[in-house]
Amino acid sequence: MLRFTAERLIGMMITMLLVSIMVFAIMEIPPGDYADRYAFRKYSGTGVNVTAADVEAIRVELGLDRPMLVRYFDWISGIVLRGDFGQAFAFETSVTKVIGDKVWLTTGILFATLILTYLISIPIGIYAAVRRGSAVDYGLTAFSYMGLALPNFLLALVMMYFANLWFGADIGGLFSKEYQNAPWSLARVWDMLKHLWLPAVVLAWSAVAYQIQTVRATMSDELNKLSVTAARARGVPEKKLLLKYPARLAINPVVSTIGFDVNRIFSELPIVAVVLGLTELGELLLKAYLDLDMNVAGAILLMLTFAIVFMNFLSDLLLAWLDPRIKLGTT
C-alpha cells in the first residue's frame, strides 16, 4: 500500500507539472501582453500619448521582456515556494489578495455538491437496478436524460425564479446582505450554509444524473454475477445479500470517478456562479477572463485543476482500499 501510494503520489506530481505548463501557455495566448494592457488601462482616457518606448519601459519594469521559459520558472517557483501568484492587474493588487477567502467558499460549494450528489445517486441507482423495468426505473431514466440535457445556467435561472417565488428575494449569492462583507463569524457561516443549498442543487443536478446511470449499470451487471447466485444458494437473506455483494461493488465506479465529478462541477461553476451571483472562484475566473487579467485567471485555473488532480489521487487510494484486486495489480 505504501508503495502504491508513493507511485500515485509521484504520478500526481508529474501531472501537476504538465498542467502548470499548459496553464501558463493559456495565460500567454491572448494577443499583446500585460505591458500593453497595463499601459492601456493606466493611460486610456487621460489624454497621455503612449509611445512604444513607454510600453517597452513598462515591459522591462515588469520583467516581461525575459524569455518565456524564465518567466515560467519565475511564475511557478513563486507559487510553489512563496504561494505568490503574481500581480492582479485589473484590481491593482496581488492575486493572492484578490482570491482571498474565495478558495474556502469554493471548497464549501464543492463538498456540499459532492455530498449531495452521492447521497442521492448511490441509493437511487441501486434501487433502480434492483427494480429494473419498473415505473420508478423508467422515471429515473427520464430524469437522468433531463439532467444531461438541461443546461446548468437555465436550471439555475429556473431554480432562482422558484426560490424567489417561494422563499423571497434574498436567495441568490452566498450571503445575505448584512453578512456580505462582514468578517467571519459563526453567524456568517450559518448564513452561508443557508445559501449553499441552491448552488449545490444546481451543480449536483447533472452529476446526479450521470452517477445514477453509472451505479445502476454496475449494479445491474453485478446482480447477474455468479457470486451473487452462489451467495443466494448458501442462504444469505436477500437484503443483506444485495448490500454486501453487488451494492458494495457498485460503489467502486463512483469512487473512481470522483475526480470527474469535481471536474464537471468546476466546469459548470463559473456560469452557475454568474447566474446565482456567487462571489467565489468561478465567478472571479470569468471576470478575470473578460478583463483579460490572465494572472488571476491562470492562478484560479491552476488551483481548480490541482484540486481535481488531488481528488483523482485520493480516489485512487480510496479505490485501492476498497478493492483488494487493485493494489495487488491483478485486475
Partner 1 sequence: MLKYYSASQWTLIWWRFKRHRAAMLASLVLGLMALAGVFAEFVAPYGPVARDTSYIEGPPQLPRFCDQNGCSLRPFINGSKTERDPVTLRAISVPDPEVRHYIGFFVKGDAVKVLGFIPTERHLIGLQDTEQKIHFWGTDDLGRDVFSRTVYATRTSLSIGVIGVLISFVLALIIGGVAGYFSGLVDSVVQRVTEVIRVVPIIPLYMGLAAAMPKEWSTTQVYFAMTLILGLFGWPTLARRIRSQLLSIRYEDYVVAARLSGAKAGRIISQHMLPSFTSFIIVDLVISFPYMILSETALSFVGLGLRPPSVSWGVLLQQAQSVRAIEQTPWLFIPAIFVVTAVLAFTVIGDGLRDAADPYAEAK
Partner 2 sequence: MMSTILDVKNLSLSFRTDEGIVQPVRNVSFSLEKGKTLGIVGESGSGKSVSTKAVMQLLPSIASVDQDAQINYTTKSGEVLDLSKISPADPQMRKIRGGEIGMIFQEPMASFSPIYSIGNQIMEAILLHRQVSKRQAREIAIEMLDKVGITNPQVRVDQFPHEMSGGMRQRAMIALALSSGPQLLIADEPTTALDVTIQAQVLNLMRDLQAELGMSMIFITHDLGVVAQVADDVAVMYQGEIVEYGTARDVIKSPQKPYTQRLLDAVPRLDNVTPPKPLKGARRLIDVKNLGVEFEVRKKKMFRTEIEKVRAVSDVTFDILKGETVGLVGESGSGKTTVGRAMLRAIDPSEGEVIFHRKKKGDIDLAHASEAELRNVRAKFNMAFPEGPVSLQTLAGDMLRNFRPEMSLVFQDPYSSLNPRMTVRDIIAEPLVASGLMKDRDAIDERVREIAARCKIDLEHLRRFPHAFSGGQRQRICIARALVSKPKFVVCDECVSALDVSIQAEIVDLLRDIQAELGVSFLFIAHDLAVVAQISHRVAVMYHGRFVEYGPTENIFFNPQHPYTKALLSAVPHPDPDAVFTPIRIDGDMTYPVAAFGADGIQLRTPSPQECLSGLPIDLVEVSPGHFVACHIDGASSHSQPKVPELV
193, interface contact from partner 1, partner 2, none, CB < 5-8 Å by kind = none
State the nearest-atom distance from the C-beta of 160 to partner 1, in Å. Answer: 5
226, interface contact from partner 1, partner 2, none, CB < 5-8 Å by kind = partner 2
Between the two ends of the chain, the Cα-to-Cα distance in Å is 16
Return all residues near 68 (Cβ < 8 A) that are at least 6 apart: 28
Number of chain positions touching partner 1 (CB under 8 A): 50
CB of 44 or CB of 229, closer to partner 2: 229
For residue 236, what is the DSSP state? Answer: -
Q: Is the dihedral of CA 86, 89, 92, 95 positive or negative?
A: negative
Q: Is the dihedral of CA 142, 155, 150, 285 positive or negative?
A: negative
Question: SS3 for 132?
Answer: coil
* Residue the block writes with cell 473512481: 256
CA–CA distance from 4 to each of 312, 321, 328 (Å)?
14, 11, 9
Sites for partner 1 among residues 247-306 (CB under 8 A): 259, 263-264, 266-271, 274-275, 282, 285-286, 289-290, 292, 297, 300-301, 304-305
CB of 53 or CB of 233, closer to partner 2: 233
- What are the DSSP calls for 172-187, one per residue? SSSS-GGGTTPPP-HH
Q: Which stretches of the chain bind partner 2, using CB under 8 A?
A: 7, 10-11, 225-238, 244-245, 248-249, 322-325, 328, 330
For residue 93, what is the DSSP state? Answer: E
The strand pairing partners of 87, in sequence order, are 94
Is residue 18 near partner 1 by the rule CB under 8 A? yes
CB of 174 or CB of 300, closer to partner 1: 300
State the nearest-atom distance from the C-beta of 259 to partner 1, in Å. Answer: 7
- Rg of the chain over Cα atoms, rounded to whole angstroms, equals 24
Q: What is the dihedral of CA 130, 133, 137, 139, to 10 degrees?
A: -170
State the nearest-atom distance from the C-beta of 123 to partner 2, in Å. Answer: 20
CB of 149 or CB of 233, closer to partner 2: 233
State the nearest-atom distance from the C-beta of 164 to partner 1, in Å. Answer: 6
Binding site for partner 1 (CB under 8 A): 14-15, 18-19, 22-23, 26-27, 29-31, 145-146, 148-154, 157-158, 160-161, 164, 259, 263-264, 266-271, 274-275, 282, 285-286, 289-290, 292, 297, 300-301, 304-305, 308-309, 312
